[in-house]
Chains A and B, each alone.
Chain A
Amino acid sequence: MRRFALIAIPYLWLLALFLVPFAIVLKISLSDVALARPPYAPQFDWATGIWAFLSDLDFENFVWLTQDDLYWKAYLSSLQIAFFSTLLTLLVGYPMAYGMARAPEEWRATLMMLVILPFWTSFLIRVYAWMGILSNEGFLNQALLWLGVINEPLMILNTNTAVYIGIVYTYLPFMILPIYAALERMDVSLIEAAEDLGCSRLSAFWLVTIPLSKSGIIAGCFLVFIPTLGEFVIPSLLGGSDTLMIGKVLWEEFFSNRDWPVASAVAVVLLLLLIVPIVLFQRNQQKQEEAEP
């Protein structure tokens, strides 16, 4: 009886507040727009039953997504931004993780804390901090003008460059931590063994360190890529009007255009896009767990 309650309470909570809402999204994505409140015409009617529902199910919202090039451009550009910013984060994060793992042991806890600290600080504030830096009269432009590198302020805020910087900045801890964990576990004598067997420092790094931190790299990349794909705050604060990201499109479709069925369809497609990286991520985690005793 106790066991039943223990299972049932969190189970029902998640069913009611996670699975059912998602079913509603799916259902509304298959409905028509209506100038009503709520602004959609429900397609499913218990009275007519499941068969009637299936027979006149219509995918017009999904067809609409393929016809209007705003949407598929937004998906493509989200994928592109997520992909390149993940790569950039890896390029910035790996040397840091490596430096931390090779730092004297008594420093590591402090360095770790320094990486985690921004993670506990408000996401919004961290993005906001860059607005003052990247704007036309911001610190970056001031510094560059003063150094004489440029003569006119660069337009960085409200461009994709600003979005990239924002993503790398906010998601850096997610990249560093798994790589650091993998590198820290690594036995330093492996490098010595490789060098003893005739590797140069660089080839020892390439042939031993990188393969051994592979699972950390993969985990870090997915931890950045997956949330970035649906990111809303960064493109809307740092990006420009031409920055197309699917999270932002969904938000606008919902709040500005009040087109719930299309917003729902956008959400469904976004989730479909996420399934592949999520499954790959899950596999990587499982493999890692199995590798450890």
Chain B
Amino acid sequence: MNRMSWFNTVSLSLGFAFLYIPMIILVIFSFNESKLVTVWAGFSTKWYGELMQNEAFLNAAWVTIKVAVFSSTIATVLGTMAAYVLVRGGRFFGRTLFSGMIYAPLVMPEVITGLSLLLLFIGIGLDRGVFTIVLAHTTFAMCYVSVVVSSRLVTFDKSLEEAALDLGCSPAEAFRLVTLPIIAPAVISGWLLAFTLSLDDLVIASFTSGPAATTLPIKIFSAVRLGVSPEINALSTIMIAIVTVGVITASLVTKHQMVRQKRDEQAAART
């Protein structure tokens, strides 16, 4: 089937228009001269300039990045461990509870996760700040990481690990030298997912942050509640640009690797 039917072309065009027009408008109006976000008054980059002057936003961005780096890194370690336990751990006491706790945060409404963590932090008298947000983000992000990594581990040929043991590796060496390099792409996507989730999170961060630590989403949310502003458009544009470049690069790299793999395999079959 090489040509697309009329119906498919129309539904895809309308669908992608729906997905992308709002963001395109957002980007266009970040370059608007006027303070009004809905009336075009000429091209200008002044809102980007103002954004760069805005201490509060810059501080919030810095806090957000710190939180995201720490929480996604810890979450990747914990999530990979949890995935390994789930897929390879065999039976142990409380296994059902463990897998339940891995999957539950994925479907748990953020308001509940946030509320419960806040009550915990207050209960044990922990001062809220960057540290508590990192704890909260790590907890829900590790579940996402473990789902990503365990779906890779399930398809992992167990005999590769056995071969490593057979050739003299201790179990830890087998993991480090064989398992980890092979599942690395899944671990990296787990980290990226955790990082993005942390960058993106408003609700849980609102519950678990203190006055000392405001993240970018919290800042944006309080600004946006008062209505649209060109400064937020500029900020959004920067974030969209970063994500777009990242996603496109990642998909080009994957595509390139797949093409090469396919070519190699064809060449190997011919010898």
Contact = CB atoms under 8 A, between A and B. Distances in A.
Interface of A: 2-3, 6-7, 9-11, 13-15, 17-22, 24-25, 28, 38, 92-93, 95-96, 98-100, 102-104, 109, 111, 113-118, 120-126, 128-133, 135, 137-139, 142, 169, 172, 188, 226-227, 229-233, 236-237, 247, 250-251, 254, 260, 263-264, 267, 270-271, 274, 278, 281
B169 interface: no
B26 interface: yes
Most-contacted residue by chain A among B79, B98, B136, B199 (CB, 10 A): B98
Given A188-B1, A237-B221, A251-B111, 18 more contacts: A13-B139, A96-B12, A99-B4, A99-B11, A103-B4, A104-B2, A111-B12, A113-B248, A113-B251, A118-B20, A120-B243, A122-B236, A124-B202, A131-B224, A264-B115, A267-B111, A267-B115, A270-B112
B65 interface: no
Contacts of A270: 109, 111-112
Interface in B110-126: 110-112, 115-117, 119-120, 122-123
Nearest to B4: A103
Contacts of B84: 6
A19 B38 CA distance: 47
Given A10-B81, A274-B107, A95 B15 contact: yes
B236 A109 contact: no
A14 B117 contact: no
Contacts of A21: 116-117, 119-120
A50 B81 CA distance: 36
23 contacts: A7-B98, A10-B146, A11-B98, A25-B119, A95-B11, A96-B11, A104-B2, A109-B255, A113-B248, A114-B16, A124-B200, A128-B228, A129-B25, A129-B26, A132-B38, A137-B39, A232-B110, A232-B111, A233-B202, A251-B111, A263-B115, A267-B116, A271-B109
Contacts of B37: 132
B142 interface: yes
Contacts of A227: 107, 109
Interface residues of B, number: 82
A6 B81 contact: yes
A125 B101 contact: no
A122 B236 CA distance: 8
Contact of B38 (A92, A128, A142, A188): A142
Contacts of A247: 109-111
Contacts of B217: 122, 124
Contacts of A14: 82, 98, 101-102, 139, 142
B239 interface: yes
Interface in B32-49: 37-39
B224 A129 contact: no
Contacts of A13: 78, 138-139, 142
Given A25-B119, A95-B15, A121 B8 contact: no
Contact of B12 (A103, A116, A138): A103
Contacts of B59: none
Given A24-B119, A113-B247, A250-B115, A172 B19 contact: yes
A127 to B, nearest CB: 8
Interface in B206-231: 217, 220-221, 224-225, 227-228
A24 to B, nearest CB: 5
B17 to A, nearest CB: 11
A120 to B, nearest CB: 5
A121 B244 CA distance: 8
Contacts of A133: 22, 25
Contacts of A122: 199-200, 217, 236, 239, 243
Interface in B172-216: 172, 196, 199-200, 202-203
Most-contacted residue by chain B among A13, A111, A114 (CB, 10 A): A13
Closest 4 CB pairs of A and B: A230-B109, A21-B116, A95-B11, A99-B8
Given A10-B82, A14-B98, A230-B109, A131 B115 contact: no
B56 interface: no
Contacts of B2: 104
Contacts of A114: 16, 19-20
Contacts of A96: 11-12, 15-16
B5 interface: yes
A103 B85 contact: no
B57 interface: no
Given A139-B38, A227-B109, A274-B107, A17 B120 contact: yes
B135 interface: yes
Contacts of A117: 243-244, 247
